């Protein structure tokens, strides 16, 4: 007798197709790391601490503020402060190598500059310049800088806030009586893809200013991040601002000409914020399945044990619970029991305490699958993102922020909406970039806007930063991102949520010997009379994956960390 055929349910079939499409779409948010040439590169130099002439107060601040603005505009920035001649030459040569193949290359210089014999020079802090013949050995020519940025495909940009009244000129001896040491800088004729902007036109000097920034840099900072401002109009605005601020005594000037192609440092708002196609929007008429069904459909083809553990923790009474338990059993049976050779080994820090060696993780497809599953279960709109493209760059002090951070519960101990934080990169200067995601509102939510996300680029100070445009502050506490917020209409109303890493680029080192009573209490007790070989503190015993998993489950919270603990034997 032939077995009866199952009844075909078109509704269930369409629903499964829909959620497979969601999983595929969210999986596309993972972009494998690519060590590609940076499209935008910049060198920023600020010289103020001159050794042979009075110091200039503003150049280092001008350089620091411009560097941060350029980083927010997606430039890969190299910053140099109070540089000697050797340091400036090295920086310019190394920067020239990065400009090859870049679309945009920019140099910003603030400090002393001068013209000698019709050529312009940037002055390092150690220059003495007793004679005009010393200029070639003690200073850096503008021509050499211009040649380096000219390698960029689309635009090479040199910005000089260097036309200050020069104290070197008066005492400099002339080797040739007719050789001029002029006031300000000389006019220049850059190549066809290079623009050179002076803070004051040739033959005139610029004000250093009484505030934090010079008048020229202050205006540049005011306009450089304006969306849709074509670069020619950017410098027109700066010109008008500076002339107004100095009562027409200082006129910025731009040398060079470009083609008809429009160039933006920040794209117009409409094109930069074009709405991405959303499979959720296209399938809006379809009835929404239960939360456990959403999660299951997102993970049912996964080979990651932790995802099924997370499913059982969230939905222990689901109709798929038995299948999830069986899947966990099958996956563990197929895993290799041997501990990988890449297991982190204890090392010593500066204080002599033993710590686990810091290892860099790679954001793999299975990590992306975890993120996609959590986003689907919490009804979060997941943006397209790339994490840690510079795999060969050593971890920085703030690299611990890079990762995907989530919580099983929403704001205010589960009363509010879900949240997720994706930190894709942190620069040398502490600029963190990424996305803040929020889920659909609950009854307790202050605002009733739909689920969405916001990109951010914020500077980390004292292990915290605030997300512009929201009342959300993020602070790193041990290995938890503590988010706090307040109601704009009533600041006394506050809310909080703790996000833990789903994936982290650089795991936070843990002390091998516990330093607090709480940590000691979590360690397995070993009787003194035992003759068994002692286990390394912070490690988990067991010859098989199953034994380690049972031990890890008691010691470690979070499915991602339990999975890693069972796989490596290290807590």
Query: pLDDT by residue (tens digit) across 320-335?
Result: 888 888 888 877 776 5
The per-residue pLDDT for 385 is 86
Strand partners, 403: 423, 504
CA distance 483 to 438: 12
Enumerate residues 6+ apart whose C-beta is below 8 A from 319. Answer: 292
Structure tokens at 25: 């779409």
Strand partners, 467: none
Phi, psi of 410 (to 5 degrees): -90, -170
Over residues 72-94, the mean pLDDT reads 94
Q: Which DSSP symbol is given to 126?
A: T
Over the stretch 413-459, which tens digit does the pLDDT of each residue have? Answer: 889 999 999 999 888 778 888 999 999 999 988 888 899 999 888 88
The per-residue pLDDT for 543 is 59
Enumerate residues 6+ apart whose C-beta is below 8 A from 509. Answer: 349, 355, 356, 357, 358
Over the stretch 263-294, which tens digit does the pLDDT of each residue have? Answer: 999 988 754 444 444 443 333 444 556 778 87
Element (H, E) at 503: strand 490-504
User: Please, what is the Cα angle at 220 between 90 and 237, to 5 degrees?
Assistant: 135
Range with the lowest mean pLDDT among 242-256, 296-310, 502-516? 502-516
The per-residue pLDDT for 369 is 85
Phi, psi of 480 (to 5 degrees): -130, 140
Strands (E), 293-407: 346-348, 354-356, 403-406
Has residue 515 got a pLDDT over 60? Answer: no
User: Which of residues 243 and 280 earns the better pLDDT score?
Assistant: 243
CA distance 277 to 6: 36
The per-residue pLDDT for 527 is 40
The per-residue pLDDT for 418 is 94
Enumerate residues 6+ apart whose C-beta is below 8 A from 229. Answer: 223, 237, 264, 265, 266
The per-residue pLDDT for 48 is 92
User: Which of residues 549 and 280 earns the better pLDDT score?
Assistant: 549
The per-residue pLDDT for 315 is 84
CA distance 501 to 305: 17
User: Please, what is the Cα angle at 181 between 177 and 187, to 5 degrees?
Assistant: 125
User: Please, what is the Cα angle at 176 between 180 and 48, to 5 degrees?
Assistant: 50
Residue 481: CA atoms inside 13 Å, Cβ hemisphere, count? 30
The per-residue pLDDT for 380 is 93
Using 50, 70 and 90 to split pLDDT, how confident is the model at 299? confident
What domains are there in the chain, each with its CATH number?
40-171+187-255 (3.40.50.1460), 290-336 (no CATH), 365-504 (2.40.128)
Structure tokens at 412: 């205010």
Instruction: Compute and round to an integer the Cα radius of gyration of the chain.
Output: 30
Using 50, 70 and 90 to split pLDDT, how confident is the model at 545? low
In SS3 terms, 474-530 reads as EEEECCEEEEEEEECCEEEEEEEEEEEEEEECCCCCCECCCCCHHHHHCCCCCCCCC
Has residue 516 got a pLDDT over 60? Answer: no
The per-residue pLDDT for 316 is 85
**239, 224 in Cβ contact below 8 A?**
no
**266, 75 in Cβ contact below 8 A?**
no
Has residue 40 got a pLDDT over 80? Answer: yes
User: Which of residues 527 and 331 earns the better pLDDT score?
Assistant: 331
Q: Which DSSP symbol is given to 211?
A: S
**269, 228 in Cβ contact below 8 A?**
yes
Over the stretch 464-488, which tens digit does the pLDDT of each residue have? Answer: 999 988 889 999 998 899 999 988 7
**205, 184 in Cβ contact below 8 A?**
yes
Using 50, 70 and 90 to split pLDDT, how confident is the model at 384? confident
The per-residue pLDDT for 174 is 65
Q: Distances in Å between the alpha carbon of 476 and those of 200, 204, 401, 402, 473?
A: 45, 50, 8, 11, 10
Over residues 143-150, the mean pLDDT reads 94
Using 50, 70 and 90 to split pLDDT, how confident is the model at 89? very high
**14, 285 in Cβ contact below 8 A?**
no
Q: Distances in Å between the alpha carbon of 252 and those of 122, 199, 201, 205, 348?
A: 18, 5, 5, 10, 55
Structure tokens at 17: 């197709």
Structure tokens at 360: 């860099």
Range with the lowest mean pLDDT among 393-402, 501-510, 540-549? 540-549
The per-residue pLDDT for 530 is 37
CA distance 184 to 374: 60
| pTM (2 d.p.) | 0.51
Has residue 211 got a pLDDT over 90? Answer: no
Over residues 200-220, the mean pLDDT reads 85
Nearest to 509 by CA among 353, 403, 391: 353
Enumerate residues 6+ apart whose C-beta is below 8 A from 153. Answer: 101, 102, 103, 193
Over residues 131-140, the mean pLDDT reads 90
Using 50, 70 and 90 to split pLDDT, how confident is the model at 131? confident
**508, 463 in Cβ contact below 8 A?**
no
Strands (E), 55-161: 76-81, 104-110, 113-116, 119-122, 140-141, 155-161
User: Which of residues 531 and 205 earns the better pLDDT score?
Assistant: 205
Over residues 551-559, the mean pLDDT reads 71
The per-residue pLDDT for 297 is 76
> CA 378: distance to chain centroid?
25
Structure tokens at 212: 């934090």
The per-residue pLDDT for 175 is 60
User: Which of residues 323 and 561 earns the better pLDDT score?
Assistant: 323
CA distance 210 to 246: 12
Enumerate residues 6+ apart whose C-beta is below 8 A from 240. Answer: none
CA distance 521 to 123: 61
């Amino acid at each position: 007798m032939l077995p009866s055929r199952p009844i075909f349910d078109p509704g269930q079939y369409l629903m499964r197709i829909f959620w497979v499409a969601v999983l595929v779409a969210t999986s596309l948010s993972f972009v494998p790391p690519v060590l590609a040439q940076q499209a935008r590169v910049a060198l920023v130099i600020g010289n103020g601490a001159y050794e042979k002439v009075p110091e200039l107060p503003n150049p280092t601040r001008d350089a620091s503020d411009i560097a941060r603005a350029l980083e927010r505009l997606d430039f890969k920035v190299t910053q140099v402060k109070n540089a000697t001649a050797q340091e400036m030459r090295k920086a310019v040569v190394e920067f020239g190598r990065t400009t090859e193949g870049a679309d945009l290359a920019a140099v910003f210089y603030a400090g002393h500059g001068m013209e000698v014999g019709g050529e312009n020079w940037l002055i390092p802090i150690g220059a003495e310049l007793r004679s005009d013949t010393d200029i070639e050995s003690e200073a850096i020519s503008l021509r050499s800088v211009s040649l380096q940025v000219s390698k960029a495909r689309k635009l090479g940009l040199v910005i000089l806030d260097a036309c200050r009244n020069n104290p070197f000129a008066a005492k400099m001896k002339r080797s040739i009586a007719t050789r001029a040491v002029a006031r300000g800088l000389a006019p220049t004729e850059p190549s066809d893809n290079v623009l050179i902007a002076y803070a004051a036109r040739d033959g005139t000097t610029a004000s250093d200013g009484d505030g934090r920034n010079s008048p020229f840099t202050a205006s540049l900072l005011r306009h450089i991040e304006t969306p849709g401002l074509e670069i020619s109009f950017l410098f027109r605005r700066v010109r008008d601002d500076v002339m107004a601020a100095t009562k027409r005594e200082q006129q910025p000037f731009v040398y060079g000409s470009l083609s008809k192609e429009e160039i933006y440092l920040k794209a117009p708002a409409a094109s930069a914020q074009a709405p991405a196609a959303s499979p959720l929007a296209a399938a809006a008429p379809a009835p929404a399945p239960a939360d456990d069904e959403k999660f299951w459909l997102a993970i049912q083809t996964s080979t990651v044990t932790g995802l099924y553990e997370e499913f059982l923790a969230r939905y222990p009474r689901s109709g798929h619970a038995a299948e999830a338990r069986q899947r966990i059993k099958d996956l563990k049976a197929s895993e290799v029991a041997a501990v990988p050779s890449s297991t982190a080994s204890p090392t010593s820090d500066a204080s002599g305490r033993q710590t686990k060696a810091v290892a860099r993780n790679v954001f793999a497809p299975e990590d992306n699958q975890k993120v996609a599953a959590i986003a689907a279960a919490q009804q979060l709109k997941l943006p397209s993102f790339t994490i840690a493209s510079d795999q060969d760059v050593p971890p920085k002090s703030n690299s611990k922020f890079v990762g995907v951070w989530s919580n099983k519960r929403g704001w205010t101990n589960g009363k509010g909406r879900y949240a997720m934080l994706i930190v894709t990169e942190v620069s040398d200067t502490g600029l963190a970039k990424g996305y803040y995601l929020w889920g659909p509102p609950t009854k307790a939510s202050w605002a009733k806007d739909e689920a969405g996300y916001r990109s951010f680029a914020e500077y980390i100070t004292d292990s915290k930063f605030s997300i512009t445009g929201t009342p959300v502050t993020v602070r790193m506490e041990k290995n938890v991102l503590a988010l706090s917020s307040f109601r704009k209409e009533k600041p006394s109303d506050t809310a909080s949520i703790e996000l833990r890493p789903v994936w982290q680029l650089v795991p936070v080192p843990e002390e091998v010997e516990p330093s607090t009573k709480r940590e000691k209490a979590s360690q397995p007790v070993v009787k003194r009379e035992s003759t068994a070989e002692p286990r390394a503190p912070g490690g988990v015993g067991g010859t098989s994956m199953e034994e380690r998993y049972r031990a890890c489950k008691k010691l470690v919270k979070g499915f991602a960390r339990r999975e890693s603990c069972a796989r490596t034997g290290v807590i």
